[in-house]
Structure 1
Amino acid sequence: MNMTSSDSDFVFGRHAGIDFLKTQDAGKINKVFLQQGVQESFADEVFGLAREKGIVVQTVPKNKLDRLVQGGNHQGLVLTVASFEYADLDDLLDQFDQEEKQPFLLMLDSIEDPHNLGSILRTADATGVDAIIIPKRHATGLTSVVAKTSTGAIDYVPVARVNNLVQTSQMLKKRGYWLFGTDMDGTDYRQWDSNGKTVLVIGNEGKGISRLLKEQMDQMITLPMVGHVQSLNASVATGVLLYQMLDTRNYHK
């Protein structure tokens, strides 16, 4: 994932921090803070990766790391990094056309919980999603919590942020994309064919897909439920649908 250098953010946690040190240029990492007294093998790995990029590691007490990430589970490692930047959707679509791809895009309608967005990014990377589209307002953006929850996937799945999801949907349809929404009333997801230029739209955790956006859908799909609770966590529902996509697109290796 590209970065800007205007603001700082944090990447924390062992898996996310190590992955960032391995995959990102030194210019995208401002500082590395390592907790005093962590196990020697982990400290050696952090120092070794930082040395390769010419980055100084500062060893600090645990309470300093706690303050930096406001009580987040840092596991002894915090990186201050350039703030996350978003991909340009038009550029991505042009690139897909040039590559003659049949892209699979994920559009998230006002996902508010950064843990949900991070989990969705992780599953999107695992299932080969080409890009994620989110709105600029009334939704979580790319944050340190998202980065940690994604366990590194934030570096590999392009995320585009747009002003208006309805207008973006209309533009995508003109470019030959089929839009599929999620709803309690719809076609059983096991009958969903996700081949071709496809956009899967996932609604807000509580409200679902907004009415105006739902009107843009070519088809609604649903996850049958036989229990007493007739809803799933947004990231869990997304995961089920993405693996159905993976199956219908024959991506098995």
Structure 2
Amino acid sequence: MRKLENKELDRLTVTDFKEAKKTPIIIILDDIRSLHNIGSVFRTSDAFLIEKIYLCGITAIPPNKEIHKTALGATETVAWEYDKDVLNVITNLKQENVSVYAIEQVESSIFLNDFKIERNKKYALVFGNEVFGVSQKAIDLCAGTIEIPQLGTKHSLNISVSTGIVIWDLFNKMNY
């Protein structure tokens, strides 16, 4: 077994990425404080050809040196938009027939492993502040909530880790 070199990874160019068919997932980051978390979400979104990222509230926007450290150029490939009001973003996406789900621990949440996707449907996933999570007002606008099952003592994951887990799971369900 031999480790592949970068030139063997068959990476898309920025132009090829922009023209490629996207995974029908939109990420909404609301009030994310950590610039490194934001960059990491961009990088994961690039890896899975995510359609778009909405940055809301206090979430910083590119260009930003600290976001770039973890995004490694993904801010140039993944489409993104800033809107101060997450409620506005959710409302507009719902009007476009996008199914919007908060990623949060709430009563009656659906565990990620039990969440069933509908083919030919577009999904938006709301991730909230590192301390306070997704706001109740945002949750109230969503079609539902998805919860990542956690068995240990913490019942809390870093926002970039949560995003990676959920994107991978939905990507897998959509493609295999």
Q: Same fold (TM over 0.5)?
A: yes
Q: For 1:197, which of 122, 126, 129 is the aligned residue?
A: 122
Paired residue total: 154
Residue 130 of structure 1 corresponds to: 51
Residue 9 of structure 2 corresponds to: none
Residue 212 (1) aligns with residue 137 (2): yes
- Quote the offset at 1:245 in angstroms: 1.1
Residue 140 of structure 1 corresponds to: 60
Give the residue type in structure 2 aligned to 1:162: D
Residue 174 of structure 1 corresponds to: 95
Q: For 1:112, which of 11, 33, 36 is the aligned residue?
A: 33
- Quote the offset at 1:180 in angstroms: 0.7
- Describe the shift of the 1:218–1:106 C-alpha distance in structure 2 as closer, same or farther (beyond 3 A): same
Give the residue type in structure 1 aligned to 2:113: R
Displaced runs of 4 or more, over 4 A: none
- Give, in whole Å, the separation in 2 of the partners of 1:194 and 1:151: 30
Alpha-carbon RMSD across the aligned residues, in angstroms, is 2.1
Residue 170 of structure 2 corresponds to: 245
Q: Note if contact 1:102-1:198 (Cα within 8 Å) is conserved in structure 2.
A: no
Percent identity, please: 26
Give CA deviations for 1:16-36 in whole Å, capped at 9, x if unaligned: xxxxxx969xxxxxxxxxxxx
- Quote the offset at 1:163 in angstroms: 2.9
Give CA deviations for 1:164-215 in whole Å, capped at 9, x if unaligned: 1102211111110110111123111012234411101111111001121111
Larger radius of gyration: 1
- Describe the shift of the 1:128–1:23 C-alpha distance in structure 2 as closer, same or farther (beyond 3 A): closer
Structure 2-normalised TM-score? 0.81
Gaps of 5+ in 2: 1-12, 16-20
Secondary structure, counterpart of 2:50 in structure 1: coil
- Give, in whole Å, the separation in 1 of the partners of 2:153 and 2:133: 19
Gaps of 5+ in 1: 1-21, 25-98
Structure 1-normalised TM-score? 0.57
Residue 156 (1) aligns with residue 66 (2): no
Point out which structure has higher relative CO (alpha carbons under 8 A, 6+ apart).
2
- Give, in whole Å, the separation in 1 of the partners of 2:55 and 2:124: 12
- Quote the offset at 1:103 in angstroms: 2.8
